[in-house]
Structure 1
Amino acid sequence: MSSQQQVVESFWRLCRRFGIPINFVTWGEWTYGENQTLGYVYREQTDVGLISLGFKEPVRMSWVKLMAAFLAHMVHDQQDDLIVAATVHEIRNPLTVLSGYQELLSQKHPDPLWEKMDELMMRIAERLDDMLSGYSSTRRLEGFDLTALCHDVGEDYKVFLTRREISLNIHGEPCEIHGDRKQLRQVIRNLLHNAADAVLPGGHIDITVNAQDEHVILRVSDNGMGIHETIRPFLFRPYYTSKIDGHGLGLVICQRIVEQHHGTIDIVDLSPGTAFVVSLPKMQK
């Protein structure tokens, strides 16, 4: 069964599970369901093509538009997963080979300069592996201190921010959460990097971590240019970016990781500046 056919079948089964009186669904060349010649057929043009929905009884067009949009979202999700999986596979394989050769090189040439280069290369390989883990849908759950993780990421970016003349302040008491450390490290990195891109030399970035009721709140704010209100609704859409060298996936990945951890991510306009607020469940004791 093709990946497109799997999406159509999953959508149809989901509708039936929730008792929606749908007879069939058609997207492109794929149809799933029954009684395709009976009942009422509605068609909706979406950004993934024409979607046809068959119902036993008449339904409102607003309902049709909502269901078609949901199916289109499922299609985009699957396409993104395939792209990410292929990218991770293609990068991680040579990265593993690189790490192996680097280890052999350090054993053959115990020179202090080679040892320094080996240490640097291993750190780069570890960071790349962390980054790729952030794009993975597989999670390795553990308990850890989110505030300490923010300090670790801040230390990684220390030289980068100094060169840009940007100050970074990290505040917060220890806050334990249960999640995938590597994936959430990637969220903090992406938000910090975006903030650095938004501020001018002499600007500042603040990261705060606070416990509120049953959640831990991570807030990354800057005093940069801000995000225009016409752009804000599209920031979590795949491949949408206002950066010349951007790929439009950073915030999408952040949102997916946060939602996989049963959390939320929101944008707050500070005028001037912007804050991204992440809410994650507190670790239960």
Structure 2
Amino acid sequence: MAETLFEELKRYVGFSPEDTQALLALHSVTREHFARIAEVFYARILEHEGARKALEGGESQVGHLKGTLQVWMDQLLRGPWDEAYYELRCRIGRIHVRIALPQHYMFGAMNVLRQEFNAIIDSHYRERPAELNAVRRALGKILDLELAIMLHTYREDLLAQQARNERLSTFGQLVGSIGHELRNPLGVIETSLFILKGRLQPGDERTAKHLERIGEQVTIANRIVSDLLDMIRDRPLKSEPVRLADVWLSATMTLQRPPGVSLSERGLSELPLVQGDANQLRQVFVNLVENAIQAVGEAGSVELTARALPDAVELILEDSGPGVSDTIRRRLFEPLMTTKARGIGLGLPLVKRILERHGGSIAYVPRPQTSAGARFLLRLPLHS
């Protein structure tokens, strides 16, 4: 069987069974220091504006991240250092690409951990130099492996992202040309349809039905063209105080849903005003809720939960549908990516674009395995 990349990396740094035992011994010595090290780690990060900005949610998320770092340190020193460990570590590199974290911050952060662990090693193994050297070598190897894995995954995902950006650039040029060209024939069809309806004979229900169907399809075509053009152009954003509860009400009143599907919200009326474009934010709700209703089918629930953070508002939209598979998740916000039989994959990319233009974000957050359905996390900044 061919050697995996992780096996190759371990061989390259000389990771041995002796290193395994040394790290397990170090785990028992350092685990009581994990919380303190996490405090030092994030205090250092928050000193640097570039790294601080890359953290989703800013300082409001640091409490959660400190806990995550303690889990990371536990796995670092306890293992097992197998292929599952490798896959888990690969996700970190992908997150760095997604949040646009410059890699020099990662090297600096890893050095903070190296210094803290080495200080503990110096203190605990002071009277046992042979063990001290063995533990320090093992720590150096596992931290080097961590950097190698993160950099490899970062590079892979960054190259893939660049390829997607190139495709999107070509897509934008094509859409701009075709979209404008389609407006003319659609306008002619609408005009002719209006004239034909005016000449319709009383009682000719069959012809009236077909004319109605033509009108519906022209409306759908016009909406597709509008969505395509919205993806590539920067319509000026209005900047005015917006009450999200009003935007939600305006959006949901236009949506049709089966009688068996419930639609509800909690917390919107308690939110402070946000600064933005109400019409474009309305489109965010329309696209997300429309997708959720279609995913739920004839019976189920769609719920929006809102809360205010110190520097942002957070919205969580959940539905009781089948959720999103792992294979689709990473491409969920790419244009033309769709799982619908009649969809063209513009709804979620447009939502992402609108939110990012408002300084916000959207992410798909898997629900617990015990709960079915999709969950989207939205954030919009609060402007002072």
Q: TM-score normalised by the shorter chain: which range applies?
A: 0.5 to 0.7
**Secondary structure, counterpart of 1:203 in structure 2:** strand
**Secondary structure, counterpart of 2:294 in structure 1:** helix
Q: Alpha carbons of 1:175 and 1:147: their partners in 2 closer, same or farther (altered >3 Å)?
A: farther
Q: Alpha carbons of 1:131 and 1:150: their partners in 2 closer, same or farther (altered >3 Å)?
A: farther
1:219 is aligned with what amino acid?
I
State the shift of 1:86 in Å.
3.8
Q: Tell me the residue number matched to 2:383.
A: 283
2: CA distance, partners of 1:272 / 1:69: 30
Unmatched segments (≥5 aa) in structure 2: 1-147, 196-211
State the shift of 1:200 in Å.
3.1
Q: How does 1:50-69 map to 2 (within 5 A)?
A: 62=152, 68-69=159-160
Unmatched segments (≥5 aa) in structure 1: 1-59, 105-116
Say whether residues 1:89 and 2:189 are aligned partners.
no
Say whether residues 1:217 and 2:314 are aligned partners.
yes
Is the CA contact 1:131–1:186 (under 8 Å) kept in the aligned structure 2?
Answer: no
- Considering only aligned residues, what root-mean-square deviation do their CA atoms show, in Å? 3.9
Q: How does 1:62-141 map to 2 (within 5 A)?
A: 62=152, 68-86=159-177, 88-90=179-181, 128=223, 134-135=230-231, 137-141=233-237
Is the CA contact 1:141–1:181 (under 8 Å) kept in the aligned structure 2?
Answer: no
Say whether residues 1:147 and 2:245 are aligned partners.
yes
Q: Structure 1 length as normaliser, TM-score?
A: 0.59
Runs of 4+ in 1 over 6 A off after TM superposition: 94-104
- Counting strand residues as a fraction of each chain, which structure ranks higher? 1
State the shift of 1:259 in Å.
1.9
2:264 is aligned with what amino acid?
N
Is the CA contact 1:92–1:132 (under 8 Å) kept in the aligned structure 2?
Answer: no
2: CA distance, partners of 1:262 / 1:248: 23
Is the CA contact 2:361–2:379 (under 8 Å) kept in the aligned structure 1?
Answer: yes
Q: Tell me the residue number matched to 1:177.
A: 274
Is the CA contact 2:258–2:298 (under 8 Å) kept in the aligned structure 1?
Answer: no
Q: Structure 2 length as normaliser, TM-score?
A: 0.45
1: CA distance, partners of 2:167 / 2:184: 26
Is the CA contact 2:248–2:285 (under 8 Å) kept in the aligned structure 1?
Answer: yes
Is the CA contact 1:224–1:272 (under 8 Å) kept in the aligned structure 2?
Answer: yes
2: CA distance, partners of 1:190 / 1:95: 23
